[in-house]
Structure 1
């Protein structure tokens, strides 16, 4: 829906807004009123998450994490992210969360959690790959409309008289020949064709990525290949956008300031590409679990020589997970207690919800040599000792909570009868 509104909005801009102040004012005021109405009718940031036409742009350019974004999943204790809905306690004067769970996982609470959770959802590829097509199509249409680039780079499109009345004029002019298609139709034809092309190229790139890496001995999942393609398309759209965006004004700058601006764009895109391309869901989950693992490791008597003279707090997320494997030599009861402490900690922080915890802790169970039934025994124990944690984890529905506890109880009963490992 939001991507469709984004496409519609850019079409309206080319047809009616670029040169008409009144049309621009009506468009902006109308958008503001729509945002106010949605905010009045629905709670939280419903406008941002479900209606705002610019949300796809933020989604694409942020990716799993922005250059200057906060790493919420590593915060200890759980902090209130900068963009999270909040309120001020009148008694203490301290900020506290005012989240109503209008979207879970929420982009404004943990952008990377939202990224990995929605990566494989229907329509996600269309937004990511289609956005590159929209960037190309938006600027290319000025050439297709005028037959040359002078119309765009001189800024003539910002001072066109009677733009609103010209929506049904001829929309294409190529090779000194007018093509009798109305401008109002030609704009969206251009958008549709370029979106289809870049969408197809994105799917092809995913397959080529998996084949190329497999030949080099690196087997990647479909999800990781999709992430790599997303990253490459994002940085391509970023560089293409700034190659044309605002150029009628930027090109008036002196040579060296303009060169410096171009270098900055290349540098920013390269930095984002470097820190994003090899990012994986597993890295994110390891980092998110590291603080909880440290809490449990502090309770154990671990030989300091294993840490190389460092404290547990100084270990990286990967080192903490490696150290966890030492627990394989401890008793089943101690490993189960450690596992329960970690699950309880992350549920309390609302870093995960109860239904999603089974898959989230799969790797940890393998490291601790625990079975799937041990997980459900853990959920059952938490439900008895800390029922409020299960009720509040991510504001999940009563039905989901009931299903999780019922399943835990059902599987945990035979698990109790099995001998300890």
Structure 2
């Protein structure tokens, strides 16, 4: 179901600009202290304890819950394609004014976040620290202070702009934005209505992957592999890859339910009303909250006097640690129960299921206290939203409960095998009983190769080598684990371990770097080369030529090629490989040039 990933890019661009315009309008109204909204959500009345400006309530009570509702009920693909801050972070790229650094041979390239850099290793801790700091700031000031919220939103937009200038790709979204880990936690393996990127699609541009529209109207990749694996390319692959070993993510995931609960309980503790006060967003009009920073949060004969400025951060961090401790206890309990059935896989399955439960609890706690309608539709309106969230999140947990990393790898292998079968054996109709190969499940694809005639043994070896090469290039497979992970495929093809090592040797002769690079390095190379190749093919299409060498005499074309190399951060070896693939008579170049350009509308179809 490719609903949101195939949504026409030009329409997404319009929505992004409209949302950015709304963001700017909100900032101006907050800083200027004026209300220009066509609707009235202020039900605080004429109390002297209330101010009359609606911007805080609209942002915290409608915009933020509405965005989370999109993530929970629909898909991360939708929000990450229209987020206005993501657009702000790309403005310097659009203008061609990003920061560049010197490379080999004096060639300058757009700066990127290196995986081994401090930011590359610690970004989750940074993002989650900013998230907790933001919660503290909300409770202390910007929940109801209009000037404070306006300055916060302005500072956030400027920060996104600066990060987008400093680093290529979606560095703001991936490495700095405090909502990045929240989106990861809510999405899990895949959003409920999210599209799978590893099966059921032949598109190169998947999910919320960075894309652009060429001059000919063709949607093409704009990915520079700023982070691999990437939630925008394949959320499930990113999920399984970060299940263990992703610094800070497990703590963030476990702490999220506790932070959400503590945040709303603190508001309720200080509120003048009960649950309705929270759901209606009346706290967004509190005129006195900024005056109480040094006042105690609670008072009593046995309670020490601790100012809110200290008590609120301490309580939030304490709630986070308690939540993490409960998550670890639940994970260990599940691991002990699962060990007899799952053996060595028990720990991974326990982590996976505990994370699903943490996400389920967090989103349902949030929408228990928050009502995106602000009560304007009456009690029934809020209850409908809570019921929808409960049902959708429950179905999401059920769908993911029995999935494992091995399930995902098997499906990825079957998708690659399906493509190799179509290339090497054009006529598969005698074996499909009237069905197309795209209709086969992963298990049926493996069964299909078992019934192929023994006479095509050489084709079976080619199938195996092709599948392994595709998985290695995409980074889904490591050479060290390939023998074990492809065992089922070898059994289906009636091949042995010697055939595996022979395929490895052949691949090494064809592309030495495929075995020298790590899986992450191979994926980065593949993503950048694919995106650069599409841009180069666009040049050939516009010139109606089939040989890149014919274009090199034009200085303007040479400048465009230099820009492509710089934009997609290709090193010398990767660039030379790409240029060589466009030699005279190249099948890739000539076939693509002669094929009619695909318009944006056709892509969406």
TM-score, structure 2 length as denominator? 0.58
TM superposition shift of 1:24:
0.2
Deviation readout 1:212-256 (Å, 9 max, x if unpaired): 3446x4554211110000001111111111000238x64453343
For the 8 Å contact 1:287–1:317, the answer to whether it is kept is yes
Partner of 2:523: 394
Partner of 1:99: 223
2:294 pairs with 159, 168, 172, which one? Answer: 168
Pairing 1:20-99 to 2, within 5 Å after superposition? 20-90=145-215, 92-99=216-223
1:269 pairs with 393, 416, 425, which one? Answer: 393
**2:488 matched to 1:363?**
no
**2:344 matched to 1:226?**
no
For the 8 Å contact 2:279–2:374, the answer to whether it is kept is no
Partner of 1:108: 232
Q: What is the alpha-carbon distance in structure 1 between the residues aligned to residue 136 and residue 474 of structure 2?
A: 40
1:196 pairs with 305, 313, 321, which one? Answer: 321
For the 8 Å contact 1:325–1:367, the answer to whether it is kept is no
Per the alignment, in what secondary structure is the counterpart of residue 87 of structure 1?
A: strand
Q: What is the alpha-carbon distance in structure 1 between the residues aligned to residue 273 and residue 139 of structure 2?
A: 17
- Relative to 1, partners in 2 of residues 1:51 and 1:303: Cα closer, same or farther, differing over 3 Å? closer
- Relative to 1, partners in 2 of residues 1:374 and 1:386: Cα closer, same or farther, differing over 3 Å? same
Partner of 1:129: 254
1:336 pairs with 441, 461, 465, which one? Answer: 461
| The 10-residue stretch of structure 1 (1-10 or 303-312) with the greater mean CA deviation from structure 2 | 303-312
Pairing 1:269-288 to 2, within 5 Å after superposition? 269-288=393-412
TM superposition shift of 1:334:
4.9
TM superposition shift of 1:288:
1.7
TM superposition shift of 1:346:
3.7
For the 8 Å contact 2:279–2:370, the answer to whether it is kept is no
Per the alignment, in what secondary structure is the counterpart of residue 204 of structure 2?
A: coil
Displacement over 6 Å in runs of 4+:
301-306, 327-332, 387-392
- Relative to 1, partners in 2 of residues 1:353 and 1:295: Cα closer, same or farther, differing over 3 Å? closer
For the 8 Å contact 2:278–2:370, the answer to whether it is kept is no
TM superposition shift of 1:383:
4.0
- Relative to 1, partners in 2 of residues 1:302 and 1:362: Cα closer, same or farther, differing over 3 Å? farther
1:315 pairs with 431, 437, 440, which one? Answer: 440
Q: What is the alpha-carbon distance in structure 1 between the residues aligned to residue 227 and residue 461 of structure 2?
A: 33
Per the alignment, in what secondary structure is the counterpart of residue 305 of structure 2?
A: strand
- Relative to 1, partners in 2 of residues 1:29 and 1:107: Cα closer, same or farther, differing over 3 Å? same
Partner of 1:409: none
Per the alignment, in what secondary structure is the counterpart of residue 74 of structure 1?
A: coil
TM superposition shift of 1:353:
5.9
1:181 pairs with 298, 306, 321, which one? Answer: 306
- Relative to 1, partners in 2 of residues 1:323 and 1:357: Cα closer, same or farther, differing over 3 Å? farther
Q: What is the alpha-carbon distance in structure 1 between the residues aligned to residue 141 and residue 317 of structure 2?
A: 19
| The 10-residue stretch of structure 1 (281-290 or 54-63) with the greater mean CA deviation from structure 2 | 281-290
- Relative to 1, partners in 2 of residues 1:362 and 1:302: Cα closer, same or farther, differing over 3 Å? farther
For the 8 Å contact 1:170–1:181, the answer to whether it is kept is yes
Q: What is the alpha-carbon distance in structure 2 between the residues aligned to residue 328 and residue 366 of structure 1?
A: 18
| The 10-residue stretch of structure 1 (160-169 or 2-11) with the greater mean CA deviation from structure 2 | 160-169
Equivalent residue pairs, number = 394
Q: What is the alpha-carbon distance in structure 1 between the residues aligned to residue 169 and residue 374 of structure 2?
A: 38
Query: What do you get for the CA RMSD once the two structures are aligned?
Result: 3.5
Per the alignment, in what secondary structure is the counterpart of residue 298 of structure 2?
A: strand
TM superposition shift of 1:362:
2.7
- Relative to 1, partners in 2 of residues 1:82 and 1:312: Cα closer, same or farther, differing over 3 Å? closer
Partner of 1:293: 417
Per the alignment, in what secondary structure is the counterpart of residue 272 of structure 1?
A: helix
Gaps of 5+ in 1: 403-421
Q: What is the alpha-carbon distance in structure 2 between the residues aligned to residue 362 and residue 330 of structure 1?
A: 26
| The 10-residue stretch of structure 1 (52-61 or 307-316) with the greater mean CA deviation from structure 2 | 307-316
Q: What is the alpha-carbon distance in structure 1 between the residues aligned to residue 153 and residue 213 of structure 2?
A: 31
TM superposition shift of 1:17:
0.2
| The 10-residue stretch of structure 1 (217-226 or 60-69) with the greater mean CA deviation from structure 2 | 217-226
- Relative to 1, partners in 2 of residues 1:195 and 1:330: Cα closer, same or farther, differing over 3 Å? farther
- Relative to 1, partners in 2 of residues 1:353 and 1:380: Cα closer, same or farther, differing over 3 Å? farther
| The 10-residue stretch of structure 1 (75-84 or 365-374) with the greater mean CA deviation from structure 2 | 365-374
Bigger relative contact order, structure 1 or 2 (CA pairs below 8 A, ≥6 apart): 2
- Relative to 1, partners in 2 of residues 1:329 and 1:189: Cα closer, same or farther, differing over 3 Å? farther
Q: What is the alpha-carbon distance in structure 1 between the residues aligned to residue 265 and residue 468 of structure 2?
A: 52
Deviation readout 1:318-367 (Å, 9 max, x if unpaired): 222344455797787554322111123345xx53267x254256332354
- Relative to 1, partners in 2 of residues 1:154 and 1:256: Cα closer, same or farther, differing over 3 Å? closer
| The 10-residue stretch of structure 1 (251-260 or 300-309) with the greater mean CA deviation from structure 2 | 300-309
Q: What is the alpha-carbon distance in structure 2 between the residues aligned to residue 283 and residue 245 of structure 1?
A: 36
